[in-house]
Structure 1
């Protein structure tokens, strides 16, 4: 705190003596300026380094960071910190102040700039020597929204001085503490600075001026003479700067300090995140139906569902996360090679959300990274996305979000197969497309049972494959095993009847006319929201 000093000249000095004194005073002033200039220049905190932290990024607050922090003080909002570590430290800080006394006069809490750098200025008039102001900085990871533990956090306070006169009476005292990973409050380690009058009192556990004879320091200039610096020897998630008095004087008046965050270190973490979700497109579970192949009627829950089974997480379509899955970071070439990862779950995270955090030093330069989703049990058995996702790691990119994995319940399967049958007299040629759907298998293709068919007649089958999903069904193969006497309680054997299977649709392993076996199509791609019919005719009642 700077206190102006006033001098009075004698009115009885002659002109020569007066000019001589003025000249000497002028020369002395120049001398003092040259002598004290170095002591007024800000000196780097000796603890502003990342020694002993392998692979760490190093950063400090930028000038803009100070301005942004002060503008949000006591709003309980976190501020994104730009820092100067090229985005490798995802830091947010929340700054709040607490006054021990409601009678403290809040003179100022703002940003000052000296020698091109900024600091936070705190000016207070305390009602007594035991009153104090706490300035708390809470650190949070801007990606995980969880506390972030920074190493080698270093701070400096300036203008820590002493005054004892009729106009001003105070003895500045600064305590800088932090909260470590164990939740304990620790004190920063004092960092001695050349030409500084500030010492660390082991008894009081804080920073104060060396002697009560030290002169007051100029305010708001970040000078070395009244600079006190500390560094935390353990990672901390928050720091607290307490501004008060030593208690050496009986009273306290108008006083101020400045402080800066000189340094913090952090080993960059790759963070992979996403959600395991129910890809139902908003279809209520009680409306889901594995046999509903209607994708066109307005009354069907599967009509006009662009978000159903599309492989994308659509919260706006009432899709939600699901519990029960595990997601692991693995080597793509060997998915059994699981990286030692840390699952990060933020407070009040939505159901199904996962986050995996792993130090950059653990991965080294391995680009062969995949995320593998697994699940046990029978719930949500059907995937709508691949079980594995490849991660393309890019330089200076540490967050890889939206790696989502979709699943649905069995009732919401993409594929619906509908088999209908038509009794016929085994003509040499049979035009399937001329046969209409019917309630009776004797008059058209019907899903109803056949009763009283005579041996030797034929049964034509139409199998309709409907893709209800909004993604392709790749490598779709339809196969149907013709009944054979003695197998699965069958009493007769059926054989393939005319017309012969087309080579364009059916696999060569399918039976020829007159043979028993498994009718099997070639692999097809069934496009989204589409259906396809497959036909074949069989002769019923042949015995073997």
Structure 2
């Protein structure tokens, strides 16, 4: 309460100067003595061992006063409590004739200072604190939320019928509204008590000053225990309302004059949650699905030209967007069949394909080898552009793991395009593949046209062009081509490998289970395990003799 200063000033101006000086000295000593007092720790400001503990810092008080939106809270226990708070003020039977809302700091302690000149004894000011998870942007339920109010006093001035009444209420996970539980500070010298429910016109169990002969009005700016009342919420809450009004139990209704209280957020607890998020997206780099062409291998013209974001394993909005139908789960990397129980915390209106899952720190135990595994059913977007499993690089002190994205494309947007061309020749031992041009017919050069009427004993040279259209390399590329064999798959004759010898830089040779056939033998032509660089082409050649029988 604030009205003391006005009545004191009127009294001093009517006294002789000597008495004024003596009075000023006494008042100075009084305020010095009172200022030497300090706030008492809120008995409810405690957390269990599995919880992270936080309270508002001095910068948090300042930032909240100066903002009408959600504010990131610095008192976040080194990131373990991803808290945002939005503060709003509302009036009933107002607005106040004059008023302010500021931060007061006494010593090392900060508090919100709510000053009001209420127009009537029935006026009410409410301050709402809404708690939100700054990662998920959904309500966050804090445990053991504890607050204290100061300067809750009783009007000794008969011209003022306003006696401070402060009610703390909160909203639980079930949507119920509960009042803060009174935390006794009587042993520390507090005159504040819970307001009896039987008193008229009170909305709940709030705090007020005892009406006794020893009751005194509180000093103007202080955070002292004598006028301090503390509460703690017995259930987790996602918001708190601080309601400041008149106790309303006097029979006379007079001008309430100037009123003020201070309040602090002493404590909140939270079981740290690890949050993993990302999006499953169409990694087509802006190529719409209807334009996709599984056989298009031209990298300089057409739909696949100048596409730096196509099939690059990176989510590139706005060209690329999410796709629905996938499931992402948290698993042990050593055995991805082992899935941890998680909770989806994806907010309403999130983009298609987005996911966000949360797991309490207490669930993990000592298991820290964590992977996110993406899967889907059906045949849409069957080709991955990223691995199905991502090791998230877990650290016990890192709580947010964003941008764990998984890319997919439709079948026609696959990265690898293989084109097989053929050229009829007379089996020269020194056939120079590089000198053979592409042609419309296999009689004059490498061609994709069909061969008709080839004479037995001639040779067919093959050029297989592997085009990597993607912007990432293709690892573990192995090209295999099975030579035809009479009686297999309707073949009428058997083909064998012919000179020139296979290039040892490309092919597996020399015998063995995976070796390509030797000259004059039938079998499977097989390359080594190769890498196709991004946006590149590579040609593979071999010659076969057609029409022999075995």
TM-score (norm 2): 0.90
Contact 1:276 1:404 in 2 (8 A): yes
Match of 1:469 in 2: 470
Match of 1:114 in 2: 106
Match of 1:15 in 2: none
Q: 1:45 aligns with which of 42, 63, 71?
A: 42
Q: 1:294 aligns with which of 298, 323, 331?
A: 298
Q: How does 1:218-229 map to 2 (within 5 A)?
A: 218-229=219-230
Contact 1:88 1:398 in 2 (8 A): yes
Q: 2:96 aligns with which of 76, 99, 104?
A: 104
SS in 2 for 1:66: helix
Q: 2:536 and 2:337 mapped to 1: Cα distance? A: 38
Q: 1:541 to 1:59 in 2, by over 3 A?
A: same
The alpha-carbon deviation at position 131 of structure 1 amounts to 2.5
Q: 1:306 aligns with which of 308, 328, 350?
A: 308
Q: 1:124 and 2:119 equivalent?
A: no
The alpha-carbon deviation at position 232 of structure 1 amounts to 0.5
The alpha-carbon deviation at position 435 of structure 1 amounts to 1.1
Match of 2:434 in 1: 433
Q: 1:498 and 1:9 mapped to 2: Cα distance? A: 120
Q: 1:536 and 2:531 equivalent?
A: no
SS in 2 for 1:162: coil
Aligned residues: 529
Contact 2:94 2:124 in 1 (8 A): no
Q: 1:523 and 1:494 mapped to 2: Cα distance? A: 25
Match of 2:265 in 1: 261
Contact 1:290 1:413 in 2 (8 A): yes
Q: 1:280 aligns with which of 277, 284, 295?
A: 284
Q: 1:62 aligns with which of 52, 57, 64?
A: 57
SS in 2 for 1:89: coil
The alpha-carbon deviation at position 26 of structure 1 amounts to 9.3
What's the CA shift string for 1:176-201, capped at 9, x where partnerless?
Answer: 11111111111110001121111112
Match of 1:232 in 2: 233
What's the CA shift string for 1:297-349, capped at 9, x where partnerless?
Answer: 3xx22122121111111114x11122222222211111122122222202322
Q: How does 1:237-386 map to 2 (within 5 A)?
A: 237-249=238-250, 250-251=253-254, 252-297=256-301, 300-316=302-318, 318-386=319-387
Contact 2:498 2:520 in 1 (8 A): yes
What's the CA shift string for 1:93-141, capped at 9, x where partnerless?
Answer: 0001111234433411111112331111112233333331111101111
Structure 2: any 5+ residue segments left out of the alignment? 198-203, 510-514
The farther-off stretch of 386-395 and 369-378 is: 386-395
Match of 2:516 in 1: 510
Q: 2:179 aligns with which of 187, 193, 213?
A: 187
SS in 2 for 1:64: helix
The alpha-carbon deviation at position 414 of structure 1 amounts to 0.9
Q: 2:175 and 2:290 mapped to 1: Cα distance? A: 47
Q: 1:503 to 1:480 in 2, by over 3 A?
A: same
Q: 1:146 and 1:209 mapped to 2: Cα distance? A: 38
Q: 1:41 and 1:138 mapped to 2: Cα distance? A: 29
Q: 1:87 and 1:183 mapped to 2: Cα distance? A: 27
Q: 1:516 to 1:168 in 2, by over 3 A?
A: same
SS in 2 for 1:433: helix
Match of 1:210 in 2: 210
Q: How does 1:14-33 map to 2 (within 5 A)?
A: none
Structure 1: any 5+ residue segments left out of the alignment? 13-17
What's the CA shift string for 1:423-471, capped at 9, x where partnerless?
Answer: 2233333211111101112111111122232333222111000111111
Contact 2:465 2:540 in 1 (8 A): yes
The alpha-carbon deviation at position 37 of structure 1 amounts to 5.5
The alpha-carbon deviation at position 8 of structure 1 amounts to 7.6
Q: 1:110 to 1:541 in 2, by over 3 A?
A: same
Contact 1:113 1:220 in 2 (8 A): no
The alpha-carbon deviation at position 66 of structure 1 amounts to 0.3
Give me the CA root mean square deviation. 2.6
Contact 1:295 1:303 in 2 (8 A): yes
Contact 2:35 2:222 in 1 (8 A): no
Contact 2:170 2:178 in 1 (8 A): yes
Match of 1:177 in 2: 169
Q: 1:197 and 2:199 equivalent?
A: no
SS in 1 for 2:65: helix
Contact 2:51 2:271 in 1 (8 A): yes
The farther-off stretch of 324-333 and 55-64 is: 324-333
Contact 2:94 2:119 in 1 (8 A): no
The farther-off stretch of 458-467 and 40-49 is: 40-49
TM-score (norm 1): 0.91
Contact 1:168 1:254 in 2 (8 A): no
The alpha-carbon deviation at position 62 of structure 1 amounts to 0.6
Q: 2:98 and 2:456 mapped to 1: Cα distance? A: 102
SS in 1 for 2:434: helix
The farther-off stretch of 211-220 and 463-472 is: 211-220
What's the CA shift string for 1:240-296, capped at 9, x where partnerless?
Answer: 111111222324332111111010111111222222222111112121111111112
Q: 1:478 and 1:156 mapped to 2: Cα distance? A: 74
Match of 2:200 in 1: none
Q: 1:217 and 1:278 mapped to 2: Cα distance? A: 65
The farther-off stretch of 2-11 and 372-381 is: 2-11
